[in-house]
Amino acid sequence: MLGVLRRKVACKANGVSALGQGIRVVASRAFSSSGKEMTVREALNSALDEEMSADPKVFIMGEEVGEYQGAYKISKGLLEKYGPERVLDTPITEAGFAGIGVGAAYYGLRPVIEFMTFNFSMQAIDHIINSAAKSNYMSAGQISVPIVFRGPNGAAAGVGAQHSQCYAAWYGSCPGLKVLAPYSSEDARGLLKAAIRDPDPVVFLENELLYGESFPVSAEALDSSFCLPIGKAKIEREGKDVTITAFSKMVGYALQAAEILAKDGISAEVINLRSIRPLDRSTINASVRKTNRLVTVEEGFPQHGVGAEICASVLEDSFEYLDAAVERIAGADVPMPYAANLERMAVPQVEDIVRAAKRACYRSTPLAATA
């Protein structure tokens, strides 16, 4: 009974009262966890909750999102609050529910489609690219697709090759899509809200290992109208000797590397990309023009990766400012192995980033000598 009442209240599209409810609900949840800290999971959950409350057209669809409370508990409590018409459990057909989501978006609803991991999105990739990404263009603006595809991306821990690939570069190359990769809880909240409100299709790449991590959140970020701009990177740590770009989990590693480098007298500037497409070229280039050295970090495969794109962009725009060749740190060029020791070798570690930054900084001798 209470659930029904709460749903009735939450679903009303009255701006102020719904938002008011939202803030009160969110604030109480945040205070009850750990002061002004929030896990990424809570951040995503609260963002979904607030957006669904504010706009009755938003609905969630995916495997296990309802009764199971979400495969990773991201949609916890939402079925109970909004009912089965807005939180839909689907059969195991990625192509099916991605296609249905696209159809619903064609009509004007705002679906949030969850893939259990983005590895499974490959079974639906035709709908994401050929239907969602290209429809607005092909229909000359008649059909817009305000859809969000979200789910964990990249490596987790001990899940093997078919559960560990990073799709940032794949989706990042496709015009018509926006591709976001949050790192902290604030990123998760602000970017997911922005993604849901955006009229274009958005691929939202989360990270399973970050779901449980806690980050401080500002009071501004807790507000239900909070939103981060799409296409702007964030300078997580300012520095002047070398620029390190990263996204998602690698931002944490880059920050740790920056701490270690600081002890060796190298001041590293860490850029959290936040947005893979559109890529914030101006922030990256401005930073490189300041530091003159660049290290790109990503978890995905090296060939045709995000780092390759950043490297090319910097060469095109800031060639004269580079004092050293660009260093790319990426995952090993192998399908992810399962054994823990092998897995560790296949993914970038903090030491790899430190070594690369040092190479970028001491590169006054010819390449052969530093091999």
Q: Please identify every residue annotated as catalytic.
A: 94, 163
The verdict on 109 binding another protein (CB under 8 A) reads yes
**Of 235, 247, 138, 118, which is closest to residue 183 (Cα–Cα)?**
247
Q: Is 141 a residue that touches another protein (CB under 8 A)?
A: yes
Options 46, 135, 184, 185; binder of another protein; rule CB under 8 A? 135
125 contacts another protein (rule: CB under 8 A): no
User: Are 321 and 305 contacting, i.e. CB atoms less than 8 angstroms apart?
Assistant: no
Applying CB under 8 A, the span of 114-122, 134-142, 249-257, 285-293 interacting with another protein comes to 134-142
Please give the single-letter amino acid code of residue 252.
G
Work out whether 14 is an interface residue with another protein (CB under 8 A): no
Query: Binding residue for another protein (CB under 8 A) from 15, 91, 265, 366?
Result: 91
Closest approach of Cβ 98 to another protein, in Å?
8
By CB under 8 A, the residues from 165 to 224 that bind another protein are 175-176, 178, 198-200
Find the shortest distance in angstroms from Cβ 142 to another protein: 4
Distance of CA 285 to the CA centre of its chain: 21
* 308 in contact with another protein (CB under 8 A): no
Packing angle, helices 185-197 and 40-54, rounded to 10: 30
Compute the distance between CA of residue 289 and CA of residue 75 in angstroms, rounded to an integer: 42
In the region spanning residues 226 to 245, those forming contacts with another protein, defined by CB under 8 A, are 231
By three-state DSSP, how is residue 123 classified?
helix
Q: Which is nearer to another protein, 127 or 249 (CB)?
A: 127
| Residues 267/360, Cβ–Cβ less than 8 Å | no
Size of the site for another protein (CB under 8 A): 44
Is the Cβ of residue 71 or residue 174 nearer to another protein in the bound state?
Answer: 174
Binding part of the chain for another protein, among 18-26, 31-39, 102-110, 338-346 by CB under 8 A, reads 102-110
Task: Tell me: does residue 138 bind another protein (CB under 8 A).
Answer: yes
The residue type of 98 is: A
Q: Counting Cβ atoms within 10 Å, is residue 134 exposed (0-12), middle (13-18) or buried (19+)?
A: middle
Instruction: Give the list of residues 6+ apart from residue 191 with CB closer than 8 angstroms, or none.
Output: 180, 182, 204, 228, 230, 274, 275
Question: Any idea which residue has 């899509």 for tokens?
Answer: 177
Check residue 95 for interaction with another protein (CB under 8 A).
Answer: yes
Report the C-alpha gap between 22 and 9 in whole angstroms: 11
Q: Which residues pair with 205 in a beta bridge?
A: 151
Task: Say if residues 70 and 64 touch (Cβ distance below 8 Å).
Answer: yes
278 scored as a contact of another protein (CB under 8 A): yes
Q: Decide if residue 12 touches another protein (CB under 8 A).
A: no
On whether the CB atoms of residues 48 and 73 are closer than 8 A, the answer is no
C-beta of 181 vs 244, nearer to another protein? 181
324 binds another protein (CB under 8 A): no
149 binds another protein per the rule CB under 8 A: no
Return residues touching another protein (CB under 8 A). 85, 88, 90-91, 93, 95-109, 111, 126-127, 130-131, 135-144, 175-176, 178, 198-200, 231, 278, 281
